């Protein structure tokens, strides 16, 4: 009798690698191939970050995840007065092709998967990566990786927007259409719930708002003539993993099922590869705290386990000291070792969807699916994600949830060991090794940029920027070839962004109380 019930449950939830992919997008799970192991890294100059990348690759990392500084994220050159205080502080400064070439010196772009956490200026950085591959003789079709390129969640939760919503959606569509043809193995968008989760969302809200944004991108791509059976193969997603292990597993299982059904029923997508919900995760983020920081190692381990059990395609694990500083070489290595121990010693990757069929997990997955779909309907009732963002409604939902979470932590309703319970009077915030950013970084970046401007062909720079400006005024023109040409001429991020601002203007955040 028990065996019969077990078999009936297996038939109801389906098989791994089969529609609607509740149990995972690959039939053999991680037995055929482990997830890509990345460490989010980048600071100071391109040369310094290159050294860290080569160190991590030597330690067994299988992919790169590039952190970019705020000026680069906001489309500003280091010479901009707004940029000067932030050069190289929260990521690497990357204003032109020469820096991209330095960043990947002695790294084979045809063999490494690279992820860029960049949004407002994502198309420019993607173009620069392509130009870098061209200069190194790497065929574009061999490039693998991801560029985040999700501007909608920037409006909602993070703030590094540049252009208004409509031209931003156009620019993202241009990258996806261009990428599916020119770099078919590179994911040109990673629709990100991660920052909404860290900003305060619940697990269900993180998935719901992310999928709502995903539908907005699909609608825009179809409006611009895209074929969903083709471009959906290159859509990927990105999330944070927090500490409720079973809830995190359930949210990923539910998300796969919802997304597959939406693509099939709403858009008529028939190709199984286009129906797949592929995602990467960060284990850490706002779940890490500064007091008793070594506790964060246990937190990241728990979250890594949830990510693996939930079927993530790529994982990067935060270092224990990221709550208060850029990771040291020691802490970054320990974070990578966390993934490797889970992968090679724990045994959890030997079985496909090991929690599948558990009464509790299947119940949670069903409950999560119901909550997610109800929240997605709320967004649709407000006119869809773009309108909800332009009116400030979606931002308000996230802000309210952030306030709720803060009250729960302050009151002790939500326990955080070492922060609001099990504290010690003499506990240290930052034990051990401390990372120090070289104070001369800004000067070196500025000197490098001045040297690039001095040796480049100014006439060619102006020609390519002029063609970009003309193309931006034509709604049906794909801007990616023009951006790649600008990068080859060593035009800077700030110069390209300024030309687009002249045509499109800038986003102004709506205020709602």
Per the prediction, the chain carries an average pLDDT of: 92
pLDDT score, position 2: 36
Distance between CA 380 and CA 208 in Å, rounded?
A: 11
| Mean pLDDT computed over 83-88 | 90
Percentage above 70 pLDDT, the chain:
95
Measured distance CA(196)–CA(484) in Å, rounded? 31
Supply the pLDDT for residue 40.
79
β-bridge mates for residue 115, sequence order: 65, 146
Scanning 93-193, the segments in alpha helix (DSSP H) are 97-103, 122-135, 151-153, 165-182
- Alpha-carbon span 315 to 307, nearest angstrom: 7
Tell me what pLDDT residue 328 has: 87
Which 3 state secondary structure label does DSSP give 81? Answer: coil
Residue 414 CB neighbours (<10 A): 15
* Phi, psi dihedral angles at 192 (to 5 degrees): -110, 120
Average pLDDT estimate for 480-505: 98
Q: Are 191 and 217 in contact (CB under 8 A)?
A: yes
pLDDT average, residue stretch 137-142: 97
* CATH architecture, range 2-411: Alpha-Beta Barrel (3.20)
Q: Which runs of consecutive H residues, i.e. helices, occur in 431-457?
A: 441-455
Determine the Cα–Cα distance for residues 511 and 513; give it in Å rounded to an integer.
7
State the Cα–Cα distance between residues 159 and 80, nearest whole angstrom: 19
Say if residues 291 and 419 touch (Cβ distance below 8 Å). yes
Name the residue with tokens 């986003």: 507
* Of residues 363, 372, 361, 340, the one with CA closest to residue 249: 361
Which band of pLDDT confidence, cut at 50, 70 and 90, is reported for residue 431? low
Residue 369 clears pLDDT 70, i.e. is over it: yes
Residue 310 CB-half CA count within 13 A:
36
3-class secondary-structure state, position 446:
helix
Residues 114 and 314: beta-carbon distance below 8 Å: no
Give the start-to-end residue ranges of the domains of the chain: 2-411
pLDDT at 327: 87
Matching residue, tokens 């649709």: 380
Q: How far is CA 372 from CA 19, 20, 31, 490, 512, in A?
A: 19, 16, 30, 45, 24
Main-chain phi, psi angles of 249, to 5 degrees: -60, -45
- Closest C-alpha to 178, from 485, 461, 502, 467: 485
- Per-residue pLDDT of 160-207, as tens digits, reads 999 999 999 999 999 999 999 999 999 999 999 999 999 999 999 999
What pLDDT, on the 0 to 100 scale, is given for residue 4? 38
Q: In the prediction, which pLDDT does 432 show? A: 64
The predicted model gives 397-425 an average pLDDT of 94
Is the torsion defined by CA of 146, 64, 21, 370 positive or negative? negative
Check pLDDT > 50 for residue 9.
Answer: no
Q: For residues 463 and 312, what is the distance between their CA atoms, to the nearest angstrom?
A: 44
| Res 5 pLDDT > 60 | no
Phi, psi of 315 (to 5 degrees): -135, 135
∠ at Cα 452 (176, 462), nearest 5°?
60
**Crossing angle of helices 203-223 and 393-411, rounded to 10°:** 160
Overall average pLDDT of the 62-67 stretch: 88
Contacts with 429 (C-beta within 8 Å, 6 or more apart), sequence order: 290, 291, 293, 324
Cα distances from 146 to residues 122, 192, 212, 340, 453, in angstroms, run: 11, 12, 20, 22, 29
C-alpha–C-alpha distance, residues 49 and 162, integer Å: 25
Q: Which pLDDT score is estimated for 266?
A: 97
- pTM assigned to the model: 0.91
Q: Determine the number of helices (DSSP H) and then strands (DSSP E) in the chain.
A: 21, 10
pLDDT tens by residue, 432-470: 667 666 778 889 999 999 999 999 999 999 999 999 999
Task: Provide CB contacts within 8 A for 58, sequence distance 6+.
Answer: none
Q: Count how many Cα atoms sit within 13 Å of the Cα of residue 368 in the half-sphere of its side chain.
A: 27
Q: How confident is the model at residue 39 (pLDDT cuts 50, 70, 90)?
A: confident
Q: What is the mean pLDDT of residues 419-434?
A: 77
* Mean per-residue pLDDT, 79-83: 94
DSSP state, 421?
Answer: B
Q: What is the pLDDT of residues 215-273, one digit of tens each?
A: 999 999 999 889 999 999 989 999 999 999 999 999 999 999 999 999 999 999 999 99
Q: Which two tokens stand for residue 318?
A: 């935060």
Range ranked top by mean pLDDT from 135-139, 221-225, 283-287, 318-322: 135-139
On the question of pLDDT at 152 being above 70, the answer is yes
Beta strands in 263-400 (DSSP E): 279-283, 314-317
- Residue 359, both tokens: 């009464």
Cβ(232)–Cβ(400) under 8 Å?
A: no
What's the DSSP call for residue 154? I
Cα 124 from Cα 493, distance rounded (Å): 7
- Is residue 419's pLDDT more than 80? yes
Q: What is the token pair recorded at 61?
A: 């990392």
Cβ proximity of 76 and 60 under 8 Å:
no
More confident residue, 432 or 360: 360
pLDDT tens digits along 470-490: 999 998 899 999 999 999 999
For the residues 349-376, what does the mean pLDDT come to?
96
| Residue 411 clears pLDDT 60, i.e. is over it | yes
């Amino acid at each position: 009798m028990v065996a019969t019930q077990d078999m009936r449950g297996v038939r109801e939830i389906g098989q791994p690698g089969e529609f609607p992919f509740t149990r995972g997008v690959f039939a053999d799970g991680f037995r055929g191939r482990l997830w890509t192991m990345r460490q989010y890294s980048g600071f100071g100059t391109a040369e310094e970050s290159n050294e860290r990348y080569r160190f991590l690759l030597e330690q067994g990392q299988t992919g790169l995840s590039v952190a970019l500084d705020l000026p680069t994220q906001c489309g500003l050159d280091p010479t901009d007065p707004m940029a000067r205080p932030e050069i190289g502080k929260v990521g690497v400064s990357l204003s032109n092709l020469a820096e991209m070439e330095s960043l990947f010196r002695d790294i084979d772009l045809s063999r490494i998967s690279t992820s860029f956490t960049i949004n407002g200026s994502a198309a420019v950085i993607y173009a620069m990566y392509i130009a870098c591959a061209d200069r190194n003789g790497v065929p574009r079709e061999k490039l693998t990786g991801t560029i985040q390129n999700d501007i909608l969640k920037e409006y909602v939760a993070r703030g590094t927007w540049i252009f208004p919503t409509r031209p931003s959606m156009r620019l993202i569509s241009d990258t996806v259409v261009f990428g599916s043809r020119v770099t078919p193995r590179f994911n040109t968008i990673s629709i990100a719930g991660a920052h909404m989760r860290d900003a305060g969302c619940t697990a269900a809200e993180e998935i719901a708002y992310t999928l709502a944004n995903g539908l907005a991108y699909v609608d825009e791509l179809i409006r611009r003539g895209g074929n969903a059976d083709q471009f959906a193969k290159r859509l990927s997603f990105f999330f944070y993993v927090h500490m409720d292990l079973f809830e995190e597993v359930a949210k990923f299982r539910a998300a796969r099922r919802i997304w597959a059904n939406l693509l099939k029923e709403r858009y008529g997508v028939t190709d199984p590869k286009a129906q797949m919900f592929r995602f990467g995760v960060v284990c850490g983020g706002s779940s890490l705290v500064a007091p008793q920081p070594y506790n964060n190692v246990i937190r990241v381990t728990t979250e890594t386990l949830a990510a693996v059990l939930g079927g993530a395609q790529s994982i990067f694990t935060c270092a224990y000291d990221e709550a208060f500083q850029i990771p040291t070489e020691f802490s970054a290595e320990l974070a990578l070792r966390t993934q490797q121990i889970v992968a090679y010693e724990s045994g959890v990757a030997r079985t496909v969807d090991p929690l599948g069929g558990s009464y509790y997990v299947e119940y949670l997955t069903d409950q999560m699916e119901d909550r997610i779909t109800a929240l997605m309907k709320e967004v649709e009732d407000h006119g869809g994600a773009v309108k909800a963002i332009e009116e400030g409604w979606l931002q308000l939902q996230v802000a309210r949830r952030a306030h709720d979470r803060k009250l729960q932590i302050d009151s002790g309703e939500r326990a955080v060991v070492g922060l609001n319970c099990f504290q010690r009077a003499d506990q240290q915030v930052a034990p051990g090794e401390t990372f120090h950013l070289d104070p001369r970084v800004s000067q070196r970046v500025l000197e490098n940029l001045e040297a690039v401007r001095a040796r480049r062909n100014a006439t060619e720079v102006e020609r390519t920027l002029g063609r970009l400006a003309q193309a931006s005024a034509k709604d049906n023109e794909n801007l990616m070839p023009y951006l790649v040409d600008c990068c080859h001429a060593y035009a800077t991020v700030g110069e390209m962004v300024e030309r687009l601002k002249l045509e499109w203007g800038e986003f102004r955040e709506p205020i709602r109380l």
